[in-house]
Structure 1
Amino acid sequence: MALSVRRSDEPVPVDPFAGLAHLNQQLQHLLNNWSSFTPMPGDGFTPLADLEETDDAYIVEIELPSVKREDIDIEIGGPHLTVSGERKERERTGILRRQTRTVGRFRFEAQLPGDVDSEGVEANLSDGVLAVRVPKPAAERPRRIPLK
């Protein structure tokens, strides 16, 4: 199959900065997620997490498979949430030939984007995912305005 080629004497506009916005976005993504795949010597690791904002709360879900409830500490100070703890290595009877799972101390920190009601914070660990619900104060919640 042959493709037809169209020729024109008109100049084709070229934007030399067209790809820079995409490159900047990719670099920001890389820098924001650097700690999730870079080992931190002596400090442990940062678990993978999602931060979701709803009308009335911030919800943080953190992947913590094989971590026991008693090995997790959750702290909130203003809009700053810190989850830390330890994923302990299990006892083995054989020779460990390969290990790709991360064990040891972990720490996740998030600066929530607005004010929070720290007295109403709830946390639940289910199926290896820690869900922390941080409610917004009543004054900051959006309300619907009916049209007349």
Structure 2
Amino acid sequence: MAATQDVTTRQSADVPSQWSERQAVLNPPVDICEDAEGITLVADMPGVSRDRLNIEVDKNTLLIEGDAHFDMPEGIQALYADIHSTRYRRSFALSPELESNNIDATLKDGVLTLRIPKRAELRPRKIEVRVN
């Protein structure tokens, strides 16, 4: 599984229509764990809500995109921000041993968790031994 790593600037043709202006895109930090049943990806995407999240699979490529929104109290203006972009984007090449049509996604407190199972025929299985 390969992942993009750098902060990039995308032109409007490379990003969804709601992201029409040219701006920096952040790659969210992602932890990837594998077990006998599949893989789990955990992405930190603070400020992204379910309706501002886009997850797509095209052939063997997984694409995660999100638009963060931070509410500022009325009458308060930000003087400084460490992060200058609110757009997240990350893509991964998926192994053919994964069931990309059976991805389970959850979002809680700005943490996106994706569970991608391995194809059933590739999972370890226990063989029962019968006694005659």
TM-score (norm 1): 0.64
TM-aligned CA distance change 1:69 to 1:45, over 3 Å? same
Instruction: Report Cα offsets for 1:40-94 as digits up to 9, x if no partner.
Output: 2334111111111111111111001111110000112343211012113534523
Instruction: Report Cα offsets for 1:106-140 as digits up to 9, x if no partner.
Output: 21111134422123211000121100111111111
Identify, as 1 or 2, the structure richer in strand. Answer: 2
2:47 to 58, 66, 69: 66
Say if 2:92 is the partner of 1:105: no
Q: What residue number does 1:28 align with?
A: none
| Further displaced range: 125-134 or 115-124 | 115-124
Q: Which residues of 2 match residues 27-66 of structure 1 at below 5 A? A: 34-35=5-6, 39-41=7-9, 42-66=23-47
CA distance in 1: counterparts of 2:8 and 2:70, whole angstroms = 18
Q: What residue number does 1:82 align with?
A: 63
Amino acid at match of 1:69: R
CA distance in 2: counterparts of 1:88 and 1:106, whole angstroms = 11
TM-aligned CA distance change 1:79 to 1:57, over 3 Å? farther
TM-aligned CA distance change 1:72 to 1:61, over 3 Å? same
Contact 1:73–1:84 at 8 Å: present in 2 too? yes
Q: Which runs of 5+ in 2 are unaligned?
A: 10-22
Amino acid at match of 1:81: L
Q: Which runs of 5+ in 1 are unaligned?
A: 1-31
1:138 to 120, 123, 126: 120
Identify, as 1 or 2, the structure richer in helix. Answer: 1
Q: What residue number does 1:3 align with?
A: none
